[in-house]
Structure 1
């Protein structure tokens, strides 16, 4: 028959084995490359572990370890995708633009856990905090934007503004989450009639822009042609100016030369100028040198004399030869 002492011994041995097993199995842990861990002693956080590999700690319940992923998560705002099916959440996506139009907007937020301690202990549900902050940020930016920007070319700017505002909010909430990127998925009008009206307005605006571009193109063409004509006229004028200046300089030089000759022999120079002028004005006229001595006019017939002039010495020698 087993005595009470033996039973107590077996119980003590069992408890000891259990304690040894707990110590053995809870005094070490491993961290993968894609994980990060937090060590807590009696519920108080001691340190964060991000180095991968085998690590040791005090056994449970003295120290506990919490492991979190380092991967980038995606938060779907305004819709939920599960098993390839997309379910919209209209109450979250409906919002008003700065020019008082209703649009439906949803987006994806990429985020990471950058402070495991704050993520675990600063908020009960950090992802819900992120979702609500995303809603507030997107509504704030859409509420200060025009509908044209939200539906067309302003999406990139809206995304940048939402990311900046959301990052600032998450920094203030201090829940250990950092925003990596935000991406608008769809921004559309609430019903078909409004979408058609907006499409008509957009088409009209595009037609207007096309006409403006064509007019600007024609204006630029005509401006270039006018500038070319202007440059040609200026170039011709500059050339004519230079030509006239050179001609004037030449005339001045000739005048000065004649004037110098005139100072040396006034009568001869005057006579020569008269004869040269007559020759220019009447190139085919016969010229006579006359001397008036009273009532009888005597003249020297130069033309007959020119016709009867003897041949040059070289010509005579040729004939004699």
Structure 2
């Protein structure tokens, strides 16, 4: 019969071996290159350990280790891609733009765990919080954007705004998640009829813009031509102004010179002015200078080659001819 002492010895030995095994198996752990670990001491989170390799700790239940991946995760919002097949969830992606149009928008969010302790203990389901925050952020930004921006050139700005808002929510909720990137996968209209109507509106807007550009081009061309004509007229007027001023100065100078001659010889100058005026008024007339001394009237022809002859019908002339 086995003695009681022997039983105690066997039981103690069993407990010792079990404790030794427990200590030996739970006093060390390894961290892989793609992992990050957090130590929990009597329910309290210690500093995280991210260096790969072998590490030691107090045995369970004093300390335990939780390991999390360091990889970058992808949150697919509005669709699910699995085994090469894509399953869409239109009810999740249907939202209203700022100009009261309905669009379907799905996106992918790149995120990673940056604080394992907060990820494990600050929220019951951090991925669900991330999903709901993504939905709220996307709907908020789409709701303040125009449909043209969501469908065409405004996607990059929408992505940046969604990432900024989503990052702010993750920081506020403090669940150990960091947002790396946000990418709109597809933004589309809900059905074919709406797509066709939007296409017609877009085509009409493009036609309008084309006509406006052509009108502006014609306007600019005509403006430049009118500006050129204006400058030409200004230049011509300036030239006429200068010419008239110079001509007036010449006439003033000529008048002053004539006046000086007139002061020196009034009679001669007066007769010359009369003759010049006659020549100007009647340029084709023959000019004769006559002298009537009471006996015989003679005239002096002004044309070259003519000699003075008696006036026709004078008596003295007839006698001289005889």
- Indicate conservation of the 8 Å contact 1:57/1:63, yes or no: no
Q: 5+ residue gaps in structure 1?
A: 309-321
Q: What RMSD in Å do the two structures reach over aligned CA positions? A: 3.6
How do 1:104-119 residues align onto structure 2 when only pairs under 5 Å count? 104-119=104-119
1:215 matched residue in structure 2: 215
- Residues 22 and 59 of structure 1 are in contact (CA less than 8 Å); yes or no, is this contact kept in structure 2? no
Describe how 1:12-161 pairs up with structure 2 within 5 A. 14-15=17-18, 17-18=20-21, 21-22=24-25, 25-26=28-29, 29-30=30-31, 32=33, 35-50=35-50, 52-54=51-53, 56-61=55-60, 62-161=62-161
Cα distance between partner residues in 1 of 2:259 and 2:52: 113
Distance across 1 between alignment mates of 2:255 and 2:69: 103
Distance 2:24 2:302 in 1: 153
SS in 1 for 2:28: helix
Using a 3 Å threshold, how does the CA distance of structure 1 residues 270 and 58 change in structure 2: closer, same or farther?
farther
- Contact 2:301 / 2:307 at 8 angstroms: preserved in 1? no
Change in 2 beyond 3 A, CA 1:96/1:298: same
Structure 1 residue 267, shift from structure 2 partner: 4.3
Deviations 1:52-110 (A, max 9, x none): 45474433334444444444332110000011110111221122334444322211122
Aligned residues: 304
* TM value normalised by structure 1: 0.76
Which whole-Å CA distance do the structure 1 matches of 2:25 and 2:41 have between them?
16
Q: TM-score w.r.t. structure 2 length?
A: 0.75
Q: In 2, are the aligned partners of 1:114 and 1:176 still within 8 Å (CA)?
A: yes
Name 1:312's counterpart in structure 2. none
CA deviation map 1:180-200 (0-9, x unaligned): 332222222222233233333
- Segments of structure 2 that go 5 or more residues without pairing to the other structure are 309-322
Change (3 A) 1:30 1:72: closer
Cα–Cα, structure 1 residues 195 and 292, in superposed 2: closer, same or farther, change >3 Å?
A: same
Question: Is the Cα contact below 8 Å between 2:28 and 2:55 reproduced in 1?
Answer: no
Taking structure 1 as reference, are residues 238 and 67 closer, same or farther at Cα in structure 2, changes over 3 Å only?
Answer: farther
For the Cα contact (< 8 Å) 1:31–1:37, is it kept in 2? no
Q: CA deviation at 1:117?
A: 2.8
Match of 2:320 in 1: none
The residue number in structure 2 matching 1:204 is 204
Distance in 2, Cα, partners of 1:67 & 1:292? 147
- Larger radius of gyration, structure 1 or 2? 2
Give the drift of 1:244. 2.3
Is 136-145 or 150-159 further displaced after alignment? 150-159
